[in-house]
Amino acid sequence: MNWEQLLSLKRFGDTNKRLRKEQDETRLGFDVDFDRIIFSTEFRSLQDKTQVIPLSQTDFVHTRLTHSLEVSVVGRTLGRRVGLKLLEKYPHLQSIHGYQANDFGAIVAAAAIAHDIGNPPFGHSGEKAIGEYFKTGKGFSYKDQLTKKQYQDLCDFEGNANGFKILTESRAGREGGLRLSYATLGAFMKYPKESLPKKPTKHIADKKYGFFQSEKKAFQDIANELGLIATSSADSLSYSRHPLTFLVEAADDICYTIIDFEDGINLGLIQEEFALEYLINLVRESIHTKKYNQLGSTQDRISYLRALAINTLINEAVEIFVSHEESILNGNFNTALLDKSKYEAQINDIIKISIENVYQSDEVVNKEIIGYKVINSLMDTYIQALTNDFNNQVSNYDKLILKTLPKNIVRKSQDTIYDRLLNVSNYVASLSDSRAILEYKKIEGIGL
C-alpha cells in the first residue's frame, strides 16, 4: 500500500479527482467528514446508548457519545503525531501533494468519532440479542430462505458492519450515505472482511467482519480506490486494514481501558485505594509525587492519573506504529498496536479488574437481561408486521405497527427477505436505550 492512495479525498459519486493541494485550508475535506458525522441523527442517538453501565442515571458515567468524543480526541493526537513522522519519512507527500500532519489527525478523528455509530442499544449485549433472535429465536425460521453469508450477517450482527451501512447506504436524497472521504471510510473499516468464513486467520483484521452483504459492492469500491491489499480466497472477500485503522483502534483501546476503569471507581464498583495502585503502576515513570499527594478528592486523583495514563499510552502507540510502519503497509502487522506495548501487563491487569468488577457487576447484568427482552420483542413484532405486509396478510394490529416505523423501512418491506430482516435489525440498532424501552412498553401495553 502507498500513502498517496490511502489518503484519498474521493467521495461517493465523484467523477473528478480531488487533489489535496487544491483543498480549502479553512475546511479540509477530512474536516467535512467529521462535521457530517457529528450532525447526523445516528450520531446524536449515541447520547442515550450504553457504553458499559446501561441506563445509568449518574452524570459521570460514559455513554456511547461521550466515549466516542474522547476516542476521537485521542485519535486526533495519535494521527497528528504519526503524521509528523510520516512526512519526515515521505517528504513528497507534503512538498508535491500538499498533505499536512493535521490531515492524518483529521482522518483518524473522523473515523474514531464514528467508530460506535452502528452499535445497538444496551451495549454489546444489544448485538448479541439481535444475533440470538436469528440463531435460536423466531428468526431461525428464515434460515433456509437466506444464503449462508446473509444468515451469518444476522446471526453475528455486528456494530462495525452496521456502522459502515449507516455511513455509506444510499437512499432518496442521500446518495452515498454521508458521502465521507474514502480515506476516512477506510480508516473506519476495522474488520475488512465479510461474515464468512469466521476468523480464517489469527490476524486482528479477521477477528470479526466489517460489512453486510448489502454493502459488499460499496466496500469493494472503497478498498480498491485506497489500494488495500486483497487477502481474499475463492469464496470470500477480504482485504488488509487501512494503516490508520490501527490508530483508531488504539484510541478506542486506550479510552475504554482507562475510562471504563474510571467509571468503575466512580460508581464504587472498584475500591479506590486498590484501583489507584493499578493506575500508578502504569504511569510510575511520569507521575509527579508531590503534586499527586496534594490532590484531596477521589475524582481529582483519578483525573490526574487518567491524563497521565492516556498520554503514556498515546506515546507508546505512536512509537509502535512508526517502528512497524513498513510491516503495516505490507499488511503483515497482525495485532493491535497496544498488544506490542511494554505496558501490556499493566493494561491487562486493569482490564481484568474491569471485567470482574464492572462488566460483570449485578447492575450491568440485570440491565442487559432487560435489553435482551426488549430487543427480542421489538424484532419479533416489526418483522412479523413487515412479513405479513409483504404476503398481503396484514392485520389491523400490523397496520398500526407499520405506522410507527420509518417510511423508508416500510417501503423497503417489498425487498428481498434478507433486506427486510436486515433493515429491521438496522432500525432496532438505531434506537437509543430509552426509546427502545418506550417502544417495548407500547407494544407490550405496559404502564397504561
Q: How many residues are present in the chain?
A: 448
Q: Is the pTM value of this prediction over 0.85?
A: yes
Cβ atoms within 10 A of the Cβ of 93, count?
21
Q: What is the pLDDT of residue 166?
A: 96
Using omega within 30 degrees of 0 as the cis cutoff, is the peptide bond preceding 197 cis?
Answer: yes
Here the cell at position 311 is 498520554
Cβ atoms within 10 A of the Cβ of 57, count?
6
Cβ atoms within 10 A of the Cβ of 314, count?
19
Give dist(CA 416, CA 368) in Å, integer.
31
Here the cell at position 344 is 501490556
Whole-angstrom CA distances from 264 to 142, 257, 348, 396 are: 41, 11, 16, 48
- Give the DSSP per-residue string, 202-244: SSGGGSS----GGGHHHHHHHHHHHTPPB--BTTB-BBPPPTT
Residue 440 pairs in a beta bridge with none
Nearest to 195 by CA among 178, 214, 209, 182: 209
Residue type, 28: L
Residue type, 175: E
Q: Could you name the CATH architecture of 245-358?
A: Orthogonal Bundle (1.10)
Give dist(CA 263, CA 319) in Å, integer.
28
Q: What is the pLDDT of residue 412?
A: 64
Q: What is the pLDDT along the chain (448 residues), one digit of tens a residue?
A: 999 999 999 999 888 889 999 898 888 899 999 999 999 999 999 998 877 765 555 555 678 999 999 999 999 999 999 999 999 999 999 999 999 999 999 999 999 999 999 999 988 889 999 999 999 999 999 999 999 999 999 999 999 999 999 999 987 778 889 999 999 999 999 999 999 999 999 999 999 999 999 999 999 999 999 999 999 988 899 999 999 999 999 999 999 999 889 888 888 888 888 888 888 889 988 888 888 888 888 888 888 999 999 999 999 999 999 999 999 999 999 999 999 999 999 999 999 999 898 888 887 888 889 889 999 999 999 999 999 998 899 999 999 999 999 888 887 666 789 999 999 999 999 999 999 999 999 999 987 5
Nearest to 76 by CA among 119, 28, 124, 10: 28
Handedness of CA 414, 415, 416, 417 (dihedral sign): negative
Give dist(CA 251, CA 112) in Å, integer.
8
Domain ranges of the chain: 245-358, 362-444
